[in-house]
Every structure is written in structure tokens, then in C-alpha cells.
Chain A
Amino acid sequence: GDSVTQMEGPVTLSEEAFLTINCTYTATGYPSLFWYVQYPGEGLQLLLKATKADDKGSNKGFEATYRKETTSFHLEKGSVQVSDSAVYFCALIPFSGGYNKLIFGAGTRLAVHP
């Protein structure tokens, strides 16, 4: 079945460091891909998304490119801030039609220190 695999955390970085969180997926056809973020004490928020191969999603300095050939959607940011500390979830919606069920990875916790 469809699934998402993320790199394990926690990821600990100093402020202004470069961030990469790896995400790979298994799915038939062309799923839509998402990154959600969960800040401490808050609900899941959509960070960015991409709906077809080679699309790049971007928001708040974060980027991810939909790579069909490597079935990947890695999250990157050039310079992290303390306020980016959160749990990041990669997710997909299968292209099988129907009801748009989200399938999530296990999440990666990011801690950014001053």
C-alpha cells in the first residue's frame, strides 16, 4: 500500500544552519505531496505542497521539490531560526480518486538552538 518514510529525528541545528529533512514515498500513479508542521501546543499546519512531478512547493523560506524518479520530497531551508523548532510531517494523498485520505510519515522533530 501507499506509505511515507521520513528521516528519524530529532534533528538539532544551530540558528542559521542549513536544513534538510528527507522524505520518500511509495505510491502508485501521481500522488500529491505535502509537508505539514506542528508547533508545540498547536495543531497541524500546512507548510507547502506539490501536486505533480518537478513541482516545487515553497513557503516561509522552506522548499521541497516533487521528484518522481527518486520518489522523494525532501524539505529544505537555507537558514533556520529558533522559531522553526517543531515537528515536521511529510504526507501524501494518493491519486486513486475518492476521498483524499492523507497518509503521513512518522514525523521529524527539529530543534534549533541560538
Chain B
Amino acid sequence: QVQLQESGPGLVKPSGTLSLTCDVSGGSISNSNWWCWVRQPPGKGLEWIGEIYHSGSTNYNPSLKSRAIISVDKSKNQFSLKLTSVTAADTAVYFCAREADFDLWSGYDNWGQGTLVIVSS
């Protein structure tokens, strides 16, 4: 059973860079299709940030204005999110998730528990 676990600083200063890692256990990161990041500001809905394909190609939400970078480290079986030039509006719970099926979309069937990141001085 694949499990995902987010980690990273819970507090980031304005204009700084938010860096999060999603550790994958119970299976190889190479054996799933898409790996994504989703966030949820306090009391608000879900926002898709972006994703990385097993081949390494990426897609991002243009609303983040090119501030997001998602990468994979296969040697550590983890993938990461960097979000630059953060403001208070980036305060949110950040989730990582995966879509497993190489042949036909099967949904984000595995999610991490989420990690709260607060942007504040």
C-alpha cells in the first residue's frame, strides 16, 4: 500500500521560498503516473498547484505565475514543491497526491495527510 507523507517548514517568511517534500513509501515513485500538489487555504476550497509525470514533464497552475517548481528525486523516492516569492496568500495546507494508472486515468487515489504552511514574518 503506497503511502505519502509531506514534510517541510511550517513557517516561511514573506518573499521567501516555500519548500516541501513528499516521501513515498510502500512502492516506487517510478511505478505511478502523475504526482501532484494541491493546497487548501484555511477555510477555503482545494486548489491544484501542479504535477509531474513519471517521465519528468510538468504542468502548473498558471494562477501561480510561474512561482512553482515540482521535481522528482527517484533515488530518494520522493518529489518536491518549491514556491518562490511567497505572500500571506500562500498560507495553506499543502497535500501531495498520486495517480497510478499508466494506461487510463484512475484518479488521485492516494493522498498525504497534508502539512500546514504559514507565511508570516
A binds B: no
Chain A residues packing against B (C-beta within 8 Å): none
Chain B residues packing against A (C-beta within 8 Å): none
